[in-house]
Amino acid sequence: MKILKTISQLRMVRAGVGDLGLVPTMGFLHAGHLSLVARARAENPTVAATIFVNPTQFGPNEDLARYPRDMPRDLALLEAAGCDLVFAPEPADIYPAGFDTVVEVRGVTEGLEGAVRPGHFAGVATVVAKLFNIVQPTRAYFGQKDAQQSVVIRKMVRDLNLPVEVVVAPTVREVDGLAMSSRNSYLTPEQRAEAPALFRALSAAKAAYDAGERDAEALRAAMRSELDGFAVDYVSVADAETLRELNRIDGPALASLAARLGTTRLIDNLPLD
């Protein structure tokens, strides 16, 4: 496995290989990230992962400074997963002095995470566009866990004609249903014990949907009733493509939510289709 720290090193190595699958991450890897590497491994002759805690997608009062990092462990996990190349640049390499261009995807970024985290998706779209330009992947792999992010990236790729195939893979969960996340490491034992309520809430909505309920507000109410006592940022039943809130469900939809446990903010979702 080759570890590349600079854009020029990466470009040189990239030029020597053909089709490539890319897994962008912020590191502190878990089985969710590794499922994307495994999928990329199965579908591409060369697999690259990026480890970059992207400062521009964090708000001023968010967790950039304390975001968990463990580069040696991440590299060992990627090597064991069969990754060929790891690109781990420095922020100053990605955002040199005078950097002044932003990729802004409108519409699908307005609700959900976009409403609570202004500027977040501009940071995500900009860094992913840069990573695509630097690495030039044939395919790029993202997790359903960050459903709105996947919608935003698909939209950017379509709108800007980027020559990349976007693959979205299912959310990997702990045995009690909690979606794996680097941020789960922030949880105290008590909070960790409460956290599966998020998945229970989504499962309640999905069960009602599977039983034939198509009134979106009834599904949102089912989610809220599982989240009594939580600091809920939103519960949503939205169109899976536009991410607009629905009244009635008559096509692919997405149940999603965000809640805070102490200072830790968790998000999760389940497709309804």
What positions carry a catalytic annotation?
33
User: Do the strands 165-169 and 231-239 form a parallel or antiparallel pair, or are they unpaired?
Assistant: unpaired
Instruction: Pick the closer one to ligand AMP by CB: 111 or 143.
Output: 143
Residues with Cβ < 8 Å from 162, sequence gap 6 or more?
129, 132, 156
Give the dihedral sign, CA 216/220/240/157: positive
Per the CB < 8 A criterion, the answer to whether 256 and 147 are in contact is yes
Answer yes or no whether residue 57 interacts with ligand AMP by CB under 6 A: no
- Using alpha carbons, select from 147, 128, 194, 165 the residue that is nearest to residue 39: 165
Beta carbon of residue 123, minimum distance to ligand AMP (angstroms, whole number):
11
| 87, 98, 106 from 202: Cα distances, Å | 35, 44, 27
Q: Interface with ligand AMP by CB under 6 A: which range of 33-41, 130-138, 155-163, 217-225? A: 33-41
Answer yes or no whether residue 10 interacts with ligand AMP by CB under 6 A: no
Answer yes or no whether residue 14 interacts with ligand AMP by CB under 6 A: no
Beta carbon of residue 261, minimum distance to ligand AMP (angstroms, whole number):
17
Beta carbon of residue 159, minimum distance to ligand AMP (angstroms, whole number):
19
Site size for ligand AMP (CB under 6 A): 16
Q: According to CB under 6 A, which one of 181, 184, 264, 269 is a site residue for ligand AMP? A: 181
Q: Which residue has the tokens 């990329």?
A: 40
Beta carbon of residue 180, minimum distance to ligand AMP (angstroms, whole number):
4
* Cα distance between residue 214 and residue 204, in whole Å: 13
Which chain residues interact with ligand AMP by CB under 6 A?
A: 25-26, 32-33, 35-36, 142-143, 145-146, 171-172, 179-182
